[in-house]
Amino acid sequence: MERHFSRNYRSEERPKVSFPSLRFYPSLAGIMYRAGRIASAGKYNAERWVYDSFLVGKLMEKMGTNIIIEGVEVLDREGPCVFEANHMSTLETFLLPCIIQPRKDVTFVVKKSLLDYPCLGPVLASRDPLAIGRANPREDLATVLEGGKKLLEAGRSVIIFTQGSRRKDVKEEDFNSLGVKLARKADVPVIPIALKTDAWGEGALIKDMGWIKPQLPVHVRFGEAMEIKGPGKEEHAAVVRFIKENFDTWAAADGKA
**pLDDT average, residue stretch 213-242:** 96
**pLDDT average, residue stretch 241-252:** 95
pLDDT(205) > 80: no
**pLDDT average, residue stretch 215-235:** 96
pLDDT(40) > 90: yes
Give, in order, the Cα–Cα distances in Å from 77 to each of 104, 106, 163, 225: 9, 14, 25, 8
pLDDT tens by residue, 139-186:
888 999 999 999 999 999 999 999 867 777 788 888 999 999 999 999
The closest of 103, 107, 102, 67 to 83, measured between CA atoms, is 107
What pLDDT is recorded for position 257?
Answer: 59
pLDDT tens by residue, 95-138:
999 999 999 999 999 989 889 899 999 999 999 999 988 767 78
The pTM of this model reads: 0.94
pLDDT(207) > 80: no
pLDDT(213) > 80: yes
pLDDT band at 202 (very low <50, low <70, confident <90, very high): confident
Average pLDDT score, the chain: 93
C-alpha angle 195-200-203 in degrees, rounded to nearest 5: 125
pLDDT band at 219 (very low <50, low <70, confident <90, very high): very high
**Nearest-angstrom CA–CA distance, 70 and 222:** 6
**Nearest-angstrom CA–CA distance, 235 and 132:** 24
In the three-class reduction of DSSP (H, G, I as helix; E, B as strand; rest coil), residue 111 is classed as: strand
pLDDT tens by residue, 62-77:
999 999 999 999 999 9
What pLDDT is recorded for position 67?
Answer: 98
pLDDT tens by residue, 141-151:
899 999 999 99
The closest of 64, 144, 68, 59 to 99, measured between CA atoms, is 68
In the three-class reduction of DSSP (H, G, I as helix; E, B as strand; rest coil), residue 151 is classed as: helix
Per DSSP, helices labelled H in 67-119 are: 91-95, 97-100
Q: Are 111 and 223 in contact (CB under 8 A)?
A: no
Give strand pairing partners of 108. Answer: 159
Q: Are 207 and 226 in contact (CB under 8 A)?
A: no
Per DSSP, helices labelled H in the chain are: 20-40, 46-62, 91-95, 97-100, 120-125, 137-142, 148-153, 178-186, 233-254
| Residue 104: Cβ within 10 Å count | 21
